[in-house]
Structure 1
Amino acid sequence: MSLNAYQRTRTLAETPRATERRLIGQITGELFSAHEAGLTGARLMPALHRNREMWNTFAALCGGPGNTLPDEVRASIVSIGLWVDRYTSKVVSGEESIEPLIDVNRSILEGLSEEVLAA
């Protein structure tokens, strides 16, 4: 089976929560690897950009019509997205550490994992 066929099959079989968990896990891994490698400032940009892009997408989806998440959850996701956007700029400029971004992603990842286990 080719890689493309495998990816299509996974996409069809994977639940939205599993897709979110996989994406957050991948991006958190990239952030952690960059941090462990001692990268700072602009050298963190590829990982930071993907993280910012992910949270901006989550926030936009929560603000869009037809989103069935509870209002409180949607508001929290939008708030995290805004914080990630602002905080990322501080990391790039060297004012702040990448660690809080990793911590937030891990917390969300844990919540998604617990949700799957409870289902």
Structure 2
Amino acid sequence: MNAQFLAKTAYATAAIPTRTERGTEYEVFARVTHRLKSAARTGGDFNALVSALHDNRALWNALAADVATKTNGLPQDLRAQIFYLAEFTVHQTRRILAGEADAEVLVDVNMAVMRGLRHEGEAA
């Protein structure tokens, strides 16, 4: 190791962008939505679909729990909408598992949330 190498490595981690809370939320939604979309598209791997639906429902359950707390800083109307979407996700997941619906509507909901997260992030 020489001084030049140490100087490069000392500042290398500073080049990694810092992720905001909104960016982290977007990334989680992107991962879950990608898995959900892929599992729904293949149509044959029921286990992959069940796993993706489980992860999607867990994400929405976490959001519902978060917006239900009094300390959540989001506006009340937005909190109510997120809670409603979480309930819708649970209901729609049951319908998908029963073979009464497909996962596209859940993908659409997640994509709309991702657009909102991305748009708000750009405005801030």
Over aligned residue pairs, what C-alpha RMSD do you find? 1.8
Residue type matched to 1:103 in 2?
Answer: D
* Contact 1:17–1:112 (8 Å) recurs in 2: yes
**Displacement of 1:40:** 6.6
Q: Distance in 2 between matches of 1:90 and 1:65?
A: 31
Q: Distance in 2 between matches of 1:77 and 1:39?
A: 31
In the alignment, is residue 79 of structure 1 matched against residue 84 of structure 2? yes
Q: Distance in 2 between matches of 1:100 and 1:41?
A: 18
Structure 2 partner of 1:3: none
Residue type matched to 1:63 in 2?
Answer: A
Structure 2 partner of 1:18: 23
Q: Unpaired segments of 5 or more residues in structure 2?
A: 1-12
- TM-score between the two structures when normalised by the length of structure 1: 0.85
Q: After the TM superposition, which of the residue ranges 21-30 and 31-40 deviates more from structure 2?
A: 31-40
**Displacement of 1:36:** 1.6
Structure 2 partner of 1:118: 123
Report runs of 4+ in structure 1 exceeding 4 Å deviation: 40-43
Structure 2 partner of 1:88: 93
In the alignment, is residue 28 of structure 1 matched against residue 37 of structure 2? no
Q: Distance in 2 between matches of 1:44 and 1:26?
A: 14
Q: After the TM superposition, which of the residue ranges 108-117 and 40-49 deviates more from structure 2?
A: 40-49
Q: Distance in 1 between matches of 2:50 and 2:108?
A: 18
Q: Unpaired segments of 5 or more residues in structure 1?
A: 1-5
Q: Distance in 2 between matches of 1:87 and 1:40?
A: 19
Q: Which has the larger radius of gyration?
A: 2
Superposition pairs of residues 87-106 of structure 1, within 5 angstroms = 87-106=92-111
- TM-score between the two structures when normalised by the length of structure 2: 0.82
Q: Distance in 1 between matches of 2:29 and 2:90?
A: 16
Q: Distance in 1 between matches of 2:78 and 2:63?
A: 11
Q: Distance in 2 between matches of 1:93 and 1:36?
A: 17
